Structure 1
């Protein structure tokens, strides 16, 4: 009986246990079946770029997430709503309907919010953001990558340039009508809510980047490069410009150089002077708990940012940053600059950027033109720190592997890229191929190349330069000239150049021909020989002014007050001995035949006979040191991008040998020049050029230093603008030429002027100089029996020549007006035409 009663009870318990277990399993399976997974990508409707750090949430709940650096998001929930909202500062929020259950793709394209940020109101007590920022300052030296002795990483760079803001008026232009079909396909490519863009250029590169401190050196080895662009044939020059070296921004610096302008960092030492801050959130980003701080500039016209930074609670390091420069800033042509960056800590504690995205939006120049978008993306992996190489390893800042431009197939590039291309980026390659095959586009490309390069590309030969094709002056009358130079297709070792001109008044041919041999590109080494027969102006040294080709071309025009014919032969050898240090050796032979009233006496000529022409033979030895100057190679030319931090120092020794190849004079010159770009933070930027020269021996004044005057109405930074041509000559002097660009420092703070975006500029030109008695005696004294020579004036030993100027630049974005005062040598009995004050105009293209 006992057993018969217990068996049913056990069966019941077993039955109920199984029933409960099945119910739980069923509930679990039902819960899994009801989970909703929503994935997607959020992009900018104007540029098509992904937007990181966007909040994506079911409204009225706490269910949501934030997009990663590439704009992707994923939300998993078992209690979904029927709507998702994407929102981020600077953009209009966007809602989209979503379903429940399963996996679905929901993409957003956000349009910019044109409304301005409201003022941040801080109640009684300290702004809580300030305590965080003070901790950022205390930990700056620990977190800044500049504390590392060295670092290196693999980097992938992607650059895209597009035409945007395509208006109806722009579509009506002749060339655009020819590519309407392409535009229509581009519009579809832009997405359901995106604006149409016309791609012009896309590139990808993979390189290895190295940096070391003490001395500060950097080296980028570009391993692979893929370029497709309208009008880009070879791509060698472009490849050097698209590497990560030009996409590096360190916000731990107080000032960042962007598009040649200095912007103040939101975590600069003087942060409270430039920005307003608001602590808006605390959130986990990966494993790091971060404070979110929103900020905006105190003055919208300043070169400062609006945006958001995420600061880690542990160590107060910069984890993420998203900043924008809007069109209210004192910039020309730039509608917007946007920089987004994600950083990770290294084994030594300092943080390095692992992903960067930069967007520069160039506005329309006219109502019938379109704008431009330039987009840059870099990704860094395999970071190694504090393992510096020997300084010789960093000999060249940028080196391109010989096979870098060899076209790899798509499968190979899929393994090289850090992230795959998006569908729109794949379409960009196709669109550019289509554009390049349209005949009218090819024609416009050729015209633009001639305008930019100054030469017409005829394959193995460049025809030009066009800027010197025609000129009119008082000696030659109408002058016509043609020329050429060979390209790399002709030879990557030999460069031939030639010019032939003819003056219709003097009925003379002028010519120039040269041959150059490039012995080494590794340590730039060249050997050249040149012969010329032409006219020149006393005081215009084409060797010193070689980089200012526009000024030299302009000297062909107008009145040659001290013009002369010359024949010249020159041999030149130069070599970069080590990074930044170049040695040059030259031999020159020159004949001088004046076309103005000029005379000189020989030093030993007791009778004092006056001569007018002469011959000279010179040896030139020059040393040039520019510690951090960057160069790129364009075809067979080497182009300097300037020095980053250190001055450029040049020491030149010149020796004239009497009796060598009929040379008439024996003299020695020493010249030292120093050029430096100086950053003054909120006070703008300055350019300082100082020169000193000392001459011994006897030589007529055209062989000394006739200081470069200016009698035109156009302001020139390399001249003394209130000095007449050839007014002063020295054989020993020290000079200073200083230009200070205050940017918007003053005018941005004047309410009625800030909208004009004018900028204050100041200048100073000073010379201490003189001439030895030996060389003064070579200048003939006028008598009733001698011709009236053009006057030659020298400086008093203790009296400097001084010009001070002030002006306004950026008038109508292109015009600069300078007001210059001459403060010395004002005696009208000596110079009846002396100018004490002058107003000069110039035209410049500056951001």
Structure 2
């Protein structure tokens, strides 16, 4: 009872603070909802546009007595606001005389010819580079960014839920969202102050982070980085606006006339500049488009104000609504610069109006612009800086000076509320569960058990396999890390283990020394470019179901010592020394090879010492953390170039072979505007010298029912073996571009995926003669082997099915001409 009274009192207090609130629906004379109607607080520029169901919500801190509702083809309606808070209003618009044709045009497809709105749009295209920081050679400005997450649709059912037992006090901080009109509870806030420097002649930009502060998660840089990556920077003048790993067609795009309807709605003076108002909305459902309006100046053709709202029918998961608003100011009567950027998203499992979810809100403010102050090129190159804890512990005086707008009452309350919440046991339990699901580890005061998802496994040799392991973990910025595991197979009755350690010797150059040892069962040939990571993922124990029998597993004893450093951001150099012992792990599989010229003596175990040098370049990669390990936050979004040279040294610690191996790996993702996302991968390699099967390059087959990156789903393990190879993979996800145009199917939000992969390789006669395994060694040297596939993604928003077809080599033993693989995954 006490909390209910306080809750009601809090709502009353908040309603007094927000001076004018109004929500409702707009209908025509037939009772049909009117989408995209303008709703303005009379005497102001504060307003909104009705959604597809004709609903609206508008709010201001000032007092207003009336709403003005307008829509092309209808008479403007003035609606008197009798109270400060006016909810569930029903507003009916009357059609203008002789304007039926206008209504039909506006609600359907507008003409592309003789349309004044499109004439204005063409002026915007012509002048887009004459506005913003791109107009100048160099630029710099202050940037303040505020991120906030809120639990929305707060009702009595949620408040009384058992999950919040002991945490009821948090509901004292509820408020109403000024876009949707829903009640929400702030649960997270992060502030950042930085200085941005840029050079358009060098195509370089640098960010100098000055301060960072958040509620209750001061050291959780992973969480901060993940949230910030969701809201990547964008430019409304670009043809495509990219966020949530999707490319949305901008209403200012040169391709916009093909996907949007445009209507010249109004004109007025804004800040003493005559501006036109253009309303836009999608021509078709399910496409990645927006609806909204923008004001554009009549002389510079620069955007003064724009808002963008993602349609609920857009093919995007877990997001019910997205609202973007940007404001621009004029510089020297000629150039418009962005001053405020507001981005709000409503994350939810369902897209129904009443569905509960989480608001993600980002407010970015820009100030103190300066231009044509040249900096040397090395100023931009020097990006790798040591972690400075002071940045994350700035005092109140710093934030008072750096905030370009003060925190409101609710935002201040989040800091206090989260500090209190961290002391509540119920919250700690929820936080621990979330951490386990996100990281796969259970925290035990400096030691993490896990990965928990690797505790049980199965393979032909070991049968049921049990694994226990863990790692040291103090903070994300630990300078050293030790980890290990032990495993036992109930079929082979053998114990396996792995241990490794690494230490960061210098933060700036990221000089790292590492070493480790592993004795385990492994599936060799799972990839062409193998990693020397001692505790890398073992394919042998990761699948419970396989296609056909797989007993071609190896027993490996691997010791590795490595040193690596990063002379330039995202460019790393690594040198390894590796010593390994390899033999078959199954009586039905052999790695035997001849050890004499007469080919009469056979060895079943290989001992080999290797020295390798690896160069890796990953432009565009984003990481978080300054410790010995860093967390990747934009996986799959950056290119990766990898070059490896390996030298095998005979007689070094009884090593068996002399050889050299060169390998190249290049992966490139491509976002191709409105037609989806493509990923291409090229691999090439050559081994110089005579080596046995265990040291050859096995074309990676896949005998599981799950999709595995850069493998061939219709190849069996060891079906192709090479010493020289070139491999190419291409996959394109159309993001539902074609399914969205098919009635009934488009409501499922499915996504089309096509792929093709091929490999060409050879195997020398000398290496064939050295082999005594009894396996028929074949290389794809008659013609390149290839496969192609068609897939359907986003099934129930979490599952993908791929249908694979073999293109040739149908006469190979146990050749599979058709197969199906699937994968689970979270994606927007």
Normalised TM-score (structure 2)? 0.85
Equivalent residue, structure 1, for 2:432? 446
The verdict on how the C-alpha distance between 1:277 and 1:269 changes in structure 2, with shifts beyond 3 A counting, is same
Name the structure 1 match of 2:266: 281
**Contact 1:397–1:630 (8 Å) recurs in 2:** no
C-alpha deviation, 1:87, in angstroms: 5.7
Contact 2:385 2:508 in 1 (8 A): no
Distance 1:662 1:496 in 2: 29
Q: Does 1:426 find its partner at 2:412?
A: yes
Alignment partner of 1:776 is 2:755: no
| Cα distance, 1:812 vs structure 2 | 1.6
Question: Could you say which residue in structure 2 is the equivalent of 1:845?
Answer: 826
Q: Please point out which of 354, 357, 363 is paired with 1:371.
A: 357
Contact residue 567 and residue 591 of structure 1 kept, 8 A: yes
In structure 2, runs of 5+ residues without a counterpart are 1-15, 25-37, 49-57, 94-102
Q: Does 1:620 align with 2:612?
A: yes
Higher radius of gyration, 1 or 2: 1
Going from structure 1 to structure 2, the CA distance change for 1:590 and 1:447 (only over 3 Å counts) comes to same
- Pairwise CA distance, 1:390: 2.8
Name 1:516's counterpart in structure 2: 502
Cα separation, partners in 2 of 1:425 and 1:729, compared to 1, 3 Å:
same
Q: How do 1:768-807 and structure 2 match up within 5 A? A: 768-780=760-772, 789-796=774-781, 798-807=782-791
Evaluate the alpha carbon distance shift between residue 731 and residue 84 of structure 1 in structure 2; reply closer, same or farther with a 3 A threshold. same
**Residues 473-524 of structure 1: per-residue CA shift (max 9 Å, x gap):** 2322332222222224598322222222222333322222222111222232
Does the 8 A contact of 2:482 with 2:501 survive in 1?
Answer: yes
Indicate whether 1:164 and 2:164 are aligned.
Answer: no
Question: Is the Cα–Cα contact under 8 Å of residues 628 and 643 in structure 1 kept in the other structure?
Answer: no
Counterpart contact for 1:655–1:666, Cα < 8 Å: yes
Q: Closer, same or farther in 2 for the Cα pair 1:641/1:39, shift >3 Å?
A: closer
Q: Is residue 477–residue 626 contact of structure 2 (8 Å, CA) maintained in 1?
A: no
Q: Deviations over 1:715-744 (max 9, x none)?
A: 334310000112111111111111100012
Give yes or no for the alignment of 1:811 onto 2:791: no
Coordinate RMSD, CA, aligned: 3.7
Question: How has the CA–CA distance of structure 1 residues 211 and 767 changed in structure 2, closer, same or farther, with 3 Å as cutoff?
Answer: same
Structure-2 change in CA distance of 1:707 and 1:388 (3 Å): farther
TM-score by length of 1: 0.83
1:640 equivalent in structure 2:
632
How has the CA–CA distance of structure 1 residues 44 and 416 changed in structure 2, closer, same or farther, with 3 Å as cutoff? Answer: farther
**C-alpha distance in 1, partners of 2:150/2:554?**
50
CA distance in 2, matches of 1:808, 1:789: 40
1:645-671 deviations in Å (ceiling 9; x for gaps): 873211111111111111111111111
Give 1:100-179 correspondences, 5 Å limit: 119=107, 126-143=114-131, 145-166=133-154, 170=158, 173-179=161-167
Name whichever of 552-561 and 112-121 sits farther off.
Answer: 112-121
Residue in structure 2 matched with residue 477 of structure 1 by the alignment:
463
Q: Secondary structure at the match of 1:290?
A: strand
Instruction: Flag the 1:234–1:839 CA change in 2: closer, same or farther, 3 A.
Output: same
What is the match of residue 20 of structure 1? none
1:220 counterpart residue number: 207
Q: Distance in 1 between matches of 2:798 and 2:345?
A: 20
Match of 2:190 among 203, 212, 216: 203
2:786/2:806 contact within 8 Å kept: yes
Kindly report which structure 2 residues correspond to 1:225-244, keeping only aligned pairs within 5 A, or say none.
225-229=212-216, 232=217, 234-240=219-225
- d(CA) in 2 for partners of 1:253 and 1:405? 33
> Cα distance 1:790–1:601, how it changes in 2: closer, same or farther (>3 A)?
closer
On the 8 A contact 1:40/1:73 being kept in 2, the answer is: yes
Deviation at 1:583, TM superposition (A): 1.1
Q: Which shifted more, 694-703 or 193-202? A: 193-202
Paired residue for 1:747, among 729, 739, 742?
739
The aligned runs of 1:707-726 (5 Å cut-off) are: 707-726=699-718
The secondary structure found in structure 2 opposite 1:660 is coil
Q: Verify the 8 A CA contact 1:227 1:235 in the aligned structure 2.
A: no
- Relative distance call for 1:168 and 1:766 in structure 2 (3 A) is farther
C-alpha distance after superposition, 1:791-813 (max 9, x if no partner)? 432222x4011000011111221
Shift of 1:124: 11
Query: CA, structure 1 residues 353+758, in 2 after alignment: closer, same or farther (shift >3 Å)?
Result: same
Tell me the alpha carbon deviations over residues 376-403 of structure 1, each in whole angstroms, 9 at most, x when there is no partner. Answer: 1110111123334333323328986430
Partner of residue 699 from structure 1, selected from 668, 686, 691 = 691
Within the alignment, does 1:462 sit opposite 2:448 as a pair? yes
**595-604 or 251-260, larger mean C-alpha shift:** 595-604
- The aligned counterpart of 2:97 is none
Residue pair 2:509, 2:567 contacting (<8 A) in 1 also = yes
Q: Separation in 2 of the partners of 1:85 and 1:532?
A: 72
Retained in 2: the 8 A contact 1:39–1:72? no
What's the secondary structure of 2:41's corresponding residue?
strand
2:44 to 42, 54, 65: 65
Unpaired runs of 5+ residues, structure 1, are 1-37, 47-52, 58-63, 76-81, 99-105, 781-787
